[in-house]
Amino acid sequence: MYSVQEITRNAKTASIKALKLSEQLKNEALNLIAKSLEENKDTIINANQKDLNEAKLMVRSGKLNQAAYNRLKLDENKLRDMIQGVRDISKLPDPVNKILWSKDIADGITLKKISCPIGVIGVIFEARPDVISQISSLSLKSSNAVILKGGAEALNTNSVIFNIINDTLSQIKDFPQNMINLIFSRDDVKQMLDCDKDIDLIIPRGSNALVKYIKENTKIPVLGHADGICHIYIDESADVDKAINICIDAKCQYPSACNSVETVLINKNISNSVLEKLLKALKENEVTINSDSVIKNMYPEYINSEVQEWKKEYGEKIISLKLTDSLETAIEHINTYGSGHTDCIITENEENAEKFMLYVDSAGVYKNISTRFADGYRYGFGAEVGISTTKTHARGPVGLEGLTIYKYKLYGTGDIVNDFTTGKRKFYK
């Protein structure tokens, strides 16, 4: 049994060896992984059922919330999508060793900006076992080594998927060992966060508490998001049917997802047309409704309680509603209480749409479309390692490009700086 320090050192070695992997070999590996996952579907489903049985007891005892339980379930549809996601990644262009730009800066001197892997990535996530195949595939295609830590509630499923992937990779000649790694305990995480010499990036996928803990306990750069407080603003020019359909999808299609809408803002000038229809639709879909005092006084029979905290991620069938005076006040509310994840305007006014999308400071700004589209798979990335609200090299759903960085390569012919400082030679303008 390896220690965490040995795992991180081995991963570092693997990441260096991975630099020479060809696109063809990486694609071959991905397609073989997809085939192996398909051949072992029953084993995966059985392991997941075992996790679900144990998780059900955790929900009853209050150790696990319902949202986490929902994310844990890996049914036939999710498994099919998971396997297809691996195949989709194999079809994407190799993101590394690409010339991003090149220019001659002086006679005989050429500067190139080249994409390259980040190196070793640590990913800590809760519940969702399909994350293992997604992140493993993205890391493999981008020539990064990865260290994964899943939640204890998905231990059986995670272990089975991890073993299938690594057993497949071990059969491929010349493929580096220790590219995909799995750790298990909270103490392992604590040790991993100290390995700043070997791990280049940490990506947490989970609760606010998890992200906060990681940021406060490591020197390693952290990429991710703490909250998914997504908004929909119904503008005064909105199409009412569009507004209701989009709000219901954004809240009810998968309430526990981080891109599920949590707050709907409604322009007061359209409230008479949309509000009661929206309230009825939410109630028909068994959504608990909280609101500001104005809506509560207008429709007390629909409202559960008055909102005391607008910076709130429910992660279940609960929603907050608020009337706004204008587009500007909606933007101000979102920038004050949002999490920078994904926010949407429903409008038929192009000028208002562009203003909203310019001034809302979020990774994803949408017009007339459900916030549930904030997903790497739906963006055509094949999959994602997570959604980033940080303002670093990657923002929004992070796919292959977000797992690469770049280096500068400078090609000379025996050149020295002194020739330029003395005026003997000049840089091109």
- Residue 256 half-sphere exposure toward CB, CA atoms < 13 A: 14
Please report the pLDDT score of residue 174 as a whole number.
87
Please report the pLDDT score of residue 13 as a whole number.
97
Q: What are the φ/ψ torsions at residue 234 (nearest 5 degrees)? A: -95, 105
Please report the pLDDT score of residue 182 as a whole number.
95
Looking at the chain, the domain(s) classified CATH 3.40.605.10 span 4-224+390-409
pLDDT band at 1 (very low <50, low <70, confident <90, very high): low
Looking at the chain, the domain(s) classified CATH 3.40.309.10 span 230-373
The Cα–Cα gap between 47 and 399 comes to 28
The Cα–Cα gap between 287 and 255 comes to 10
Question: Mean pLDDT over residues 408-419, rounded?
Answer: 97
pLDDT band at 323 (very low <50, low <70, confident <90, very high): very high
Q: Are 389 and 341 in contact (CB under 8 A)?
A: yes
The Cα–Cα gap between 86 and 23 comes to 15
Residue type at position 403: L
Pairing outcome for strands 230-234 and 145-149:
unpaired
Q: Which residues contact 38 (CB under 8 A, 6 or more apart)?
A: 83
The Cα–Cα gap between 152 and 159 comes to 11
Specify the DSSP class assigned to residue 186: H
The Cα–Cα gap between 271 and 323 comes to 8
**pLDDT tens digits, residue range 184-235?**
998 999 999 999 999 999 999 877 788 889 989 999 999 987 789 999 999 9
Please report the pLDDT score of residue 116 as a whole number.
97
- The kind and range of the H/E element at 182 are strand 180-183
For 248: left if phi > 0, alpha if psi spans -120 to 50, otherwise beta; the answer is alpha
Q: 147: closest CA among 289, 239, 14?
A: 14
Nearest 5 degrees, angle CA 75-CA 80-CA 84?
A: 150
**pLDDT tens digits, residue range 16-70?**
999 999 999 999 999 999 999 999 999 999 999 999 999 999 888 988 888 788 8
The Cα–Cα gap between 36 and 38 comes to 5
pLDDT band at 428 (very low <50, low <70, confident <90, very high): very high
Q: Which residue has the tokens 């790497």?
A: 376
pTM for the structure as a whole: 0.85
pLDDT band at 321 (very low <50, low <70, confident <90, very high): very high
Q: Which CATH superfamily is domain 230-373 in?
A: Aldehyde Dehydrogenase; Chain A, domain 2 (3.40.309.10)
* Pure H helices in 230-326: 240-252, 271-284, 293-298
**pLDDT tens digits, residue range 252-264?**
999 988 999 999 9
Please report the pLDDT score of residue 131 as a whole number.
87
- Give me the CATH topology for the region 4-224+390-409: Aldehyde Dehydrogenase; Chain A, domain 1 (3.40.605)
**pLDDT tens digits, residue range 126-161?**
878 888 999 999 999 999 999 999 988 999 999 999
Q: Are 352 and 339 in contact (CB under 8 A)?
A: no
